[in-house]
Structure 1
Amino acid sequence: MLDPFARRIIDPPLNRAGLWLAGRGATANMITGVGLVVGCAAALSIAAGQFLLALLLIAVSRIADGLDGAVARARGPTDLGGYFDILADFAFYAAVPVAFGIADPANALAALVLVASFLLSGTSFLAFATIAAKRGMTTTARGEKSFFHAAGLAEGSETILAFVLMCLFPQSFGLIAWLFAAMCLVTAAGRCLDAARLFRDPA
């Protein structure tokens, strides 16, 4: 929901940084890999109860997640890069709630439900993108992407905001997780309705 507005703010500096990094030999896949490693370090920090360190690492990881796209635009995007990027994102999204469940067993149920909601939301996202590509649908509302990005109530910006709030208020993880899981389910349902409306007739 917030991604189109966030892109207008962050894309210009990210694109400048991407040009600079591309000019010095960096590749998008290298930066995606760095972002994934840092994101996993953030999850380990959460599991160890180091929430402020995790918050810093999440910020670095998400900056890398933005930079890889900027470098890809500067060097020329590849299908492998798009595949690796979405895989790294989903791995990070799953790792954070699991880490909160490890940090405090009382969080386990909320963490489990949140990961399940991510699975449903992610499946609705990727399935929609697959059919949209088959039909030649395109959108640039969320910047230039390797495949169609369907809108929803809970997208990347909302997910990062939820993770930030969890790190700032770890004692409220359960409440935040339940609320965000509900947003993810609403997002998945909305995409299903869009699919029923757009994909009913043969391509």
Structure 2
Amino acid sequence: MFDSKLRPWIDPPLNRLGLALARRGITADQVTVAGAVAGGVAGLAIGLQQPLAGLALIALSRLLDGLDGAIARATRPTDFGGYLDILCDYVFYLAVPLGFGLAEPAHLPYALALVASFTLTAVSFLAYATLAAKRGLESVSHGAKSFFYSTGLAEGAETIAAFVLMCLFPAAFPVIASLFTVLCLLTVVQRSLIARAEFRQDR
């Protein structure tokens, strides 16, 4: 929901840093994988009941996630880079809630419900992108991307905000996870209604 509004503020400094890293021979794919590793370790730290360490790793993971696109724009974006980026994003999105479920067994049902809602959100997002590509649709509101990014109530900025709150207030994980699960499901409904309006008629 807020991703496109934040891009004008975030992209300029990321682009400058991405250009500097590209000049040093660092590739976008390397940074993408590093971001996924940081996200996975964040989930592990949270599972070991170290949520503040997890929070620091979440911040690192998302910084790297922003930098990979900046490096790609400074060099040559590839379709494989786009594939790797979305795959590694979901390593991060799944690792963090599962970490909270491991840290406190009573929280596991809430973690699994959130993971399930992320899965449905991903399916709706990727299905929409596939059909949008088939019809030649383009969107620049989320910056230059390898495929169509459809807007939703729950996007990257909202997810990161929820994860930050979980790390700062781990005892409130069930409440935060439940609210965000509902937001994800509403996003699926929202995107499905948009898809119905956009793709109902064959072209």
* TM-score between the two structures when normalised by the length of structure 2: 0.99
- 1:31-180 matches, within 5 Å, as 31-180=31-180
Give the whole-Å Cα distance in 1 for the aligned partners of 2:116 and 2:34: 26
Q: Which residue of 1 aligns with 2:6?
A: 6
Q: Which residue of 2 aligns with 1:25?
A: 25
Give the whole-Å Cα distance in 2 for the aligned partners of 1:43 and 1:6: 26
Deviations 1:117-161 (A, max 9, x none): 001111000000000001000001011111000000000000000
Displacement after TM superposition at 1:83 (Å): 0.2
Q: Percent identity?
A: 57
SS of the residue 2:33 aligns to:
helix
Query: Matched residue pairs, number?
Result: 203
Give the whole-Å Cα distance in 1 for the aligned partners of 2:129 and 2:137: 9
Displacement after TM superposition at 1:8 (Å): 1.2
Unaligned segments of structure 2, at least 5 residues? none
Give the whole-Å Cα distance in 2 for the aligned partners of 1:145 and 1:107: 35
Give the whole-Å Cα distance in 1 for the aligned partners of 2:95 and 2:21: 28
Displacement after TM superposition at 1:187 (Å): 0.3
* TM-score between the two structures when normalised by the length of structure 1: 0.99
Amino acid at match of 2:85: D
Over aligned residue pairs, what C-alpha RMSD do you find? 0.6
Amino acid at match of 2:146: S
Give the whole-Å Cα distance in 2 for the aligned partners of 1:44 and 1:200: 43
Amino acid at match of 2:113: V
